[in-house]
A and B are shown apart, each in its own frame.
Chain A
Amino acid sequence: MACFLVSATEAVVVTAIEKGMGTKAAKDSEAADDAAFKVPIRSKLKWLSSMLWGGSVLLAFEHVWHGEVVPWFPFLTAMNDPGDTSEMLHEMATVGVAMAVLITLVWVGMCLTADAIAKRTGGKMQKNTKA
């Protein structure tokens, strides 16, 4: 009904954090990460926000397709009836939260894997530099 709103909210928060990190702080962090062969945290946050935005937009389209989201106030058809509203809130609390949690877990896995790959590549590069 409106499960995508939970991920969209998380996307707004993650994007704000990513933008709030600032260019200078991000550059300093990237330089430090380059030295330690790590993926910069700002890039990692961009992965998460891209997945959340992408998923939210495409799911919002699905809701428009099914007539659950309309281009006029209150935009969500479930808001017209109190019974539907409580069902919508329940769906957001269960399906919506599960979607946001799974995307975040996948992202954590991606970050750990990327760091492991960067470490492996970094180790190889250091060996080649020494040799």
Chain B
Amino acid sequence: MTLLITVFAAVTATILWYNRKDDSMRLGTLCFLYWGASIMWLVDAIFEYVELQAEYFTPALEDIINDSFLGLSVVALGLVIWLVRLLIADPKGSVRRALKKNA
């Protein structure tokens, strides 16, 4: 489930990146973040499949829930990392404008 959720996040981020009007949202960072994790989890899944065989596709309900919760947390962490990097880079100057206004 973690792999599946991360792949969906990677595909969504890539579609958003492809339809972007400019690079100001730095969506490329989000794409690389999720694709990197997806590839790594794919390898993990392959090794697990080799070990468990068909049993890999019939996980217990508790494992599905735990993995889904982990997958969503991973997506949230990815979004937070992307947002922090975006605010630090501040390509649109929004943070600088807000700070100047308050100064």
Chain A residues close to B by CB (< 8 Å): 3-4, 7, 47, 50-59, 61-62, 65, 94-95, 98-99, 102-103, 106
Contact = CB atoms under 8 A, between A and B. Distances in A.
B74 A54 contact: no
B72 to A, nearest CB: 12
B47 A52 contact: no
Contacts of B42: 102
Given A58-B78, A61-B74, A61-B77, A53 B36 contact: yes
Contact of A54 (B2, B34, B44): B34
Interface residues of B, number: 25
A47 B43 contact: no
A12 to B, nearest CB: 15
The 10 closest A-B pairs by CB, nearest first: A55-B36, A54-B33, A50-B32, A51-B36, A54-B36, A58-B37, A55-B40, A99-B40, A99-B43, A55-B37
Interface in B31-77: 32-44, 46-47, 70, 73-74, 77
Contacts of B47: 94-95, 98
B16 interface: no
Q: Is the interface of B mostly helix, strand, loop or mixed?
A: helix
B95 interface: no
B75 to A, nearest CB: 9
A59 B37 contact: yes
B14 interface: no
A103 B70 contact: no
Nearest to A91: B47
